[in-house]
Structure 1
Amino acid sequence: MEAVLGLVVILLGLSHAPVSSVLLVSECLSQGERRVSCSSEGGDSPQYSWTLDGRTLTDAELLSVNNEDNIIILKQHVSGHLVCSVKNNVNSVSKEQKISACAPVTSVLMVSECQFLGQRRVSCSSEGGDSPQYSWTLDGRTLTDAELLSGNNETNNITLKQHISGHLVCSVRNNVSEVSKEQSICTCGE
C-alpha cells in the first residue's frame, strides 16, 4: 500500500504544469496613481511577488494590493524598474517594465496657419502627460467631415477646408488631467 501511495504522490508531482509566460499591464489613474496587473499563462498554484529596483515594494510606494487578482496600485510619483515574478513548484517566470510617474497634461499649444487655396492647417501639442488624447470643437460642437480636409477629431493635426471660421478648441486629456486651448479663427485670405 505504501508503494502505491508513493507512486500516486510522484505522479501528482509530475502532473503540475509550469508557468509559461507573464503579462504585465500598467495604466495611470485619475489622481496620478498607477494600476499594475500581473497575470500568467499555464501553471498550477502560481504565487506572485513584486519588486521595484530590485527590492520589495514598501508601504510608502503602495496605495493598495489585491492579491486575489494580482493587482497593485502604486502611489503618485513612484517610478523605477518594476518586476512581477510568478512561481510554482515547477518553475519561476518574471516580467519587467520600466515605469515612470504618471504625468498630467500641463499645457497645450495650438498653431494655426493658412495654406494654399485658403485651407487652414492647425496643430495641437501638449507638454507632459502620458497617452494624450485629442479632441476638437468648433463653436461648441464636434468638427464634421464637411469641415475637415484632413485629420479627424482624435488627431493632433487637422486641416480645415476653405471658408471655415469660428471659435476652435483643442482639448488634450489623459487619465490624469484635461487641458484645452482655444482660438478664434477666420477664413484664410480675409
Structure 2
Amino acid sequence: MEAVFGLLLMLLGVSHGVETSFCDGRQDGAQCFRPLGESVALRLMDDASKLSRYQWFKNHTIILNGRKNHVMSNLMENSSSFSPSDGIFRIDNLSRTDAGEYTLHSFDLRGQKLELRSLQLTIQAPVSSVLLVSECLSQGGMRVSCSSEGADGPQYSWTLDGHTLTEAQLLSGNKDSNNITLRQDVSGQLDCSVSNHISRMSTCGFRLTDCSLFNGTHLSQRLLVSSESWCTKPTADTVASSVDHSLLICGLRAAVVTLILTGIAACYVWRKKKYETAEGSAAPGGMDQENSVVMVEMRSSASEL
C-alpha cells in the first residue's frame, strides 16, 4: 500500500523531503530569494576545471577556495558542498545567517583576476497565516485590516469581486497597504492577499456588510486563514460539477444494488433447481418400482410351471 501511495505521489509530482531550488549566479548582480530551512543550489560557473584559481567571498570572508577541480578549503563544509565539474555550490538547511552578498573572484594562470561577480542571497520566512478584520464605522463606511504572521517583507493586495480594488472605492488608505477604509456604497466580495518573494496566501474573503443597516451600532468581523486550512468559493461551475458528481455516485450505487439483487435471485433459482433434482432422484417410485413388480410376477409364473 505504501509503495502504491509513493508511486501516486511521484506521478503527481509530489516528493518527500526538502526542496532544492536553483539560482544562476553566473550573471553579475544576481538576486536569489529562498525559504528558511530549505536548500539552494547556486550555479557559480560552468566548469571550475577551466579556471586556474577561484575564491568565493561572503561579506569579505573567503568561503570557498579552489584550484581547478580541487577544493582547497570550504568554510561552510558542514552545511554545504561544491561540485567543480558543474560549478554548483549547494547550501542545505538555510538559516538567516546564510543571507548576504557573495562575490566570486576568478584568476588565470598568471594570477591575474579574470572576473568579479556578485550574488545577493535573501532568506525569507513564508506567509503562515492571514487575519482579516472588518469594522463598521459610526460615520459610515468600513475599516478593514489585513495582517500576516511569519512572513518577511509582506506585500498586500486587495480584490473586490475578483477585480483589483481601485482608489475610487477607498475612503482612506492605499490599495497596496494592509489597512484600508471603504466607502459606504462599496459592496461585494472582498479578498486580501499577502505575499513575498517565496510565498503567497489569500483569505477566503467575505461579503461586505451594509453598515447603514445597523444605525451606527459597532460591528466587527474576523477571518483567519492559515497554511493548515483552506477554502473554496462556490461558483455555478462547481455547483453543477457537484450535482453531476452526486448523480454519478447515485447511479453507481443503484447499479451495484441491482447486480447484488440479480446475483441473489440467480443463486436462489440455482439452489432450488438443484434441490428439486436431488429430491427426484431419491424418490422410491417410478420405473424402478414397476420393474420390480414385473420381475416378481415372472418368478411366480416360473414356479407354477
The CA RMSD over aligned residues, in Å, is 4.2
Summarize deviations over 1:21-54 as a string: whole Å, max 9, x none: xx8965337x95568899xxxxxxx964235998
TM-superposed deviation, 1:73: 6.5
Asked if structure 1 preserves the Cα contact closer than 8 Å seen for 2:31 and 2:121, the reply is: no
Distance of 1:26 and 1:179 partners within structure 2 = 21
- Residue 79 of structure 1 aligns with which residue? 96
Distance of 2:42 and 2:194 partners within structure 1 = 24
Identity rate, percent: 38
Asked if structure 1 preserves the Cα contact closer than 8 Å seen for 2:132 and 2:192, the reply is: yes
Distance of 1:150 and 1:36 partners within structure 2 = 44
CA pair 85-174 structure 1, distance change in 2 beyond 3 A: closer
Which amino acid is 2:94 matched to? H
Higher normalized strand content (fraction of residues) = 1
Which amino acid is 1:169 matched to? D
Which amino acid is 2:206 matched to? Q
- The reply on whether 1:186 has 2:192 as its aligned counterpart is no
Higher-RCO chain (CA-CA 8 Å, sequence separation at least 6): 1
- The reply on whether 1:149 has 2:171 as its aligned counterpart is yes
Distance of 1:145 and 1:137 partners within structure 2 = 12
Distance of 1:48 and 1:150 partners within structure 2 = 53
CA pair 148-64 structure 1, distance change in 2 beyond 3 A: farther
Distance of 1:86 and 1:28 partners within structure 2 = 20
> Which ranges of structure 1 fall in alignment gaps of 5 or more residues?
1-22, 39-45
How is 1:31-42 mapped onto 2 (pairs within 5 angstroms)? none
CA pair 25-62 structure 1, distance change in 2 beyond 3 A: farther
Which amino acid is 2:192 matched to? C
- The reply on whether 1:112 has 2:134 as its aligned counterpart is yes
Larger deviation: 166-175 or 73-82?
73-82
Distance of 2:125 and 2:150 partners within structure 1 = 6
TM-superposed deviation, 1:148: 1.1
TM-superposed deviation, 1:158: 0.9
Higher normalized helix content (fraction of residues) = 2
Distance of 1:129 and 1:62 partners within structure 2 = 28
- Choose from 77, 85, 93 the match for 1:58: 77
Rg larger in 1 or in 2? 2
TM-score scaled by structure 2?
0.39
Asked if structure 2 preserves the Cα contact closer than 8 Å seen for 1:168 and 1:183, the reply is: yes
Asked if structure 2 preserves the Cα contact closer than 8 Å seen for 1:50 and 1:57, the reply is: no
Distance of 2:201 and 2:149 partners within structure 1 = 10
Asked if structure 2 preserves the Cα contact closer than 8 Å seen for 1:150 and 1:160, the reply is: yes
Summarize deviations over 1:47-89 as a string: whole Å, max 9, x none: 642359987123844698996xxx9664453332657467798
TM-superposed deviation, 1:164: 1.6
Which amino acid is 1:162 matched to? Q
> Which ranges of structure 2 fall in alignment gaps of 5 or more residues?
1-28, 45-52, 64-73, 113-117, 214-305
Distance of 1:140 and 1:171 partners within structure 2 = 12
- Residue 49 of structure 1 aligns with which residue? 56
Distance of 1:64 and 1:153 partners within structure 2 = 47
CA pair 85-167 structure 1, distance change in 2 beyond 3 A: closer
TM-score scaled by structure 1?
0.59
CA pair 141-122 structure 1, distance change in 2 beyond 3 A: same
Which amino acid is 2:209 matched to? C
- Choose from 152, 157, 160 the match for 2:182: 160
